[in-house]
A and B are shown apart, each in its own frame.
Chain A
């Protein structure tokens, strides 16, 4: 594998160092354990307040208790609510009642190891911080919107009124002051855990084992694996069902993994365009000579 491939995909244990931060602090992240989320939305509120995010409308969506619908320019933490018929009730319910299972999960920017948003940003506005997180510098963002369809998780979004993009900064200002992000601070059940990513990964592995032993076979980690399509997420999850149930992509891949191949094809296509034109002029010369001769 060449260097360029390694930069664009695959395991990368030091994204901050790779971005040129020497002597940087350890990479930090979020481990969101959805098995203890109670859907209180304290994280959504704390995030909005701390980051002074504008109000972005109140609507009753009919999507259970979810009225913020998804992550966006003005929603950097989003609690998803899923109502399901419980898959396998341990004991049969009386009178044919089915048990309701309620899944709740607080979603956030994944702060990808290989962040497509950052890769495709033409201005350098999106950058890798010394903490290994991904942040937008609003004074440089020029509103091109390229990062929006590049993100494999549908996180980053433009604000309609000014065209610039906004997303979770993992409370960059608080990290700089040695504090944890507002959402993690506000979470009453420790569903949102903040800390050095290595520690979080260890803790998460133990937690899944614990749940499996307790008979919660559906428990699984999502975004924890440095071998996955984005090189692992800085914000990863413990889920109780398939990722797509929560609106998450089951196997996201950073689009720039294929960029070297794309440039190669564009180069070949450009050459074939020239060749086609040469051919056209040659064909015209040939036929006119033939009709003249």
Chain B
């Protein structure tokens, strides 16, 4: 669809303020939170099915990812000591508040699960922590979709129905990619299945989202966001192909396929991030859909 050209604006200036967040911090945070959260679920599954090495590797991956994601969040605040103010209140209307509390509980759980797995100490507590991380992990992976959508940014807000599912699928693809890369070959059956499932849902939901967004979907096709989204699709498809076909037999294929899935997931998050920024910077994406909404409401009021 070609964007409607006739709209007015104030000297072409954006109507809303684009987020001032750094892509590396916030898109990186989306990616790492997904990798950590979905990884905790795979770790719990591996533990329950007696795949020790797989479980330990994923616990370490989740701990690493959540630590980096917390670092990204704190870095974005400018001054680290400001993070304490995040835990000053609990506010369900603020996805950032909810997310901070989630991280504050999930992070230590992921840490305890990893520590127990590596040292072999306190196996009961380790199992409890593994379970806790697996329960909270999916929320860590999907709430970031709400974090983005709960703004006036057209490419994010208008996609509020799809973003959490896209992020869940993308997180599953990332975590299964990591599992393929780091777990023993004979144990990676579930990782391959999760890669195929997560990857294909990621591609499908992304397509549905772009179409449903109409005019605003253009923000996901143009410029940097478009390049990243296309790269994400190619990497995810390639990762699924390589890991799915040969990831059970060849160590190299598992590692390459896994890496492609990880990169694909990262590209999806950066693509979503830049689509949001672009949709905020161009007044067309704010004005045209709102104008159309008003006109539709008027038409409903006085049918011709």
Indicate if the CB atoms of A277 and B42 lie closer than 8 Å.
yes
Q: Which of A122-176 contact B (CB under 8 A)?
A: 122-125, 140-146, 148-158, 162-163
Pairwise interchain contact B91-A124, C-beta atoms closer than 8 A: yes
B139 near A270 with CB under 8 A, answer: yes
Q: How many residues of A contact B (CB 8 A)?
A: 75
Residue ID in chain A nearest B40 by CB atoms:
A277
Residues of B within 8 A of A66 (CB): 11
Decide yes or no whether B226 CB sits under 8 A from chain A: no
A252 to B95, CA, bound (A): 20
C-alpha gap A8/B98 in the complex (Å): 17
- CB of B79 closer than 8 Å to a CB of A: yes
CB <8 Å contact, A148 and B19? yes
> In whole Å, how far is A106's beta carbon from the nearest beta carbon of chain B?
14
Docked-complex contact B16 and A153, CB < 8 angstroms: yes
Interface string of B147-159 (1 = CB under 8 A from A): 0011111001100
- Indicate if the CB atoms of A121 and B20 lie closer than 8 Å: no
Q: By the criterion CB–CB under 8 Å, are A149 and B283 in contact?
A: no
Give the interface segment out of B116-124, B167-175, B216-224, B254-262: B167-175
Indicate with 1 or 0, residue by residue over A251-282, a CB within 8 angstroms of chain B CB atoms: 11001101101110111111111101111110
Tell me if A244 and B8 are in contact (CB < 8 A): yes
Nearest A residue to B167 by beta-carbon distance?
A269
Contact residues, A79-117 vs B (CB, 8 A): 80, 82, 116
- State whether the Cβ of A70 lies closer than 8 Å to any Cβ in chain B: yes
Give B68-97 as 1s and 0s: 1 = Cβ < 8 Å from A's Cβ atoms: 000000001111001101101101111111
Question: Which residues from chain B contact A52 at a C-beta distance below 8 Å?
Answer: none
| Contact between chains at B10 and A80 (CB < 8 Å) | yes
Report yes or no: B138 in contact with A142, Cβ–Cβ below 8 A.
no
Known: A144-B76, A245-B8, A274-B138. A8 touches B85 (CB 8 A): no
Name B193's contact: one of A152, A259, A284 (CB within 8 Å): A284
The answer, yes or no, to whether B198 is at the interface (CB within 8 Å) is yes
Q: From residue B22, how far is it (CB to closest CB) to chain A in Å?
A: 10
Whether the pair A122, B164 counts as a contact (CB closer than 8 A) is no
* A273 and B152 contact, CB distance less than 8 A: no
Question: Is B193 in contact with A283, judged by CB distance below 8 angstroms?
Answer: yes
- If A151-B17, A265-B161, A287-B189 touch, whether A63 touches B11 (CB-CB below 8 Å) is yes
Q: Does A59 contact B (CB under 8 A)?
A: no
The answer to whether A250 touches B19 (Cβ under 8 A) is no
B interface, size bucket: 35 or more
Q: In the assembly, what is the distance between CA of A287 and CA of B191, in Å?
A: 13
Question: For B94, what are the chain A residues with a Cβ–Cβ distance below 8 Å?
Answer: 119-122, 146
Q: Is the CB of A144 within 8 A of B86?
A: yes
Residues from chain B with a CB closer than 8 A to the CB of A263 are: 92, 146
Is A188 close to B, CB under 8 A? no
- The interface residues of chain B, by DSSP majority, are classed as helix
Interfacial residues of chain A within 31-63, with CB under 8 A of chain B in the complex: 61, 63
B140 CB, min distance to chain A CBs, angstroms:
9
Chain A nearest CB, measured from B35 CB (Å): 12
B143 to chain A, nearest CB (A): 5
Contact present for B19 and A163 (CB under 8 Å): no
**In this assembly, does A285 line the interface, its C-beta being within 8 Å of a C-beta of chain B?**
yes
B290 proximal to A (CB < 8 A): yes
Q: B153 → chain A, closest Cβ, in Å?
A: 5
Question: Given that A122-B94, A144-B86 are known contacts, is A281 also in contact with B10, CB under 8 Å in the complex?
Answer: no
Check A247 for interface membership: any CB of B closer than 8 A: yes
Cβ A244 vs Cβ B291 within 8 A: yes
Complex Cα spacing A151 to B17, Å:
8
What is the 8 Å Cβ interface bit string for chain B, positions 43-63, against chain A (1 contact, 0 not)? 001001100000000000000
Instruction: Name B91's closest neighbour in chain A (CB-CB).
Output: A122
Q: Does B234 lie at the interface of the complex (its beta carbon under 8 Å from any beta carbon of A)?
A: no
* Cross-chain contact of A261 among B95, B160, B165 (Cβ < 8 A): B160
A25 within 8 A of B: no
When distances are taken between beta carbons in the complex, the residues of chain B under 8 Å from A273 are 37-38, 41, 138, 141-142, 168, 171-172
- 27 A/B residue pairs, CB under 8 Å, sorted by A: A63-B11, A70-B13, A120-B151, A121-B94, A122-B86, A123-B97, A142-B86, A149-B153, A149-B276, A150-B150, A152-B16, A153-B15, A244-B287, A244-B291, A246-B10, A249-B15, A251-B290, A255-B157, A259-B93, A262-B145, A262-B146, A269-B142, A273-B142, A276-B168, A276-B194, A280-B45, A283-B189
Q: What is the interface of chain B, defined by CB distance below 8 A to chain A?
A: 7-11, 13-21, 37-38, 41-42, 45, 48-49, 76-79, 82-83, 85-86, 88-89, 91-97, 100, 134, 138-139, 141-143, 145-146, 149-153, 156-157, 160-161, 163-165, 167-169, 171-172, 176, 189-194, 197-198, 201, 276, 280, 283, 286-287, 290-291, 293-294
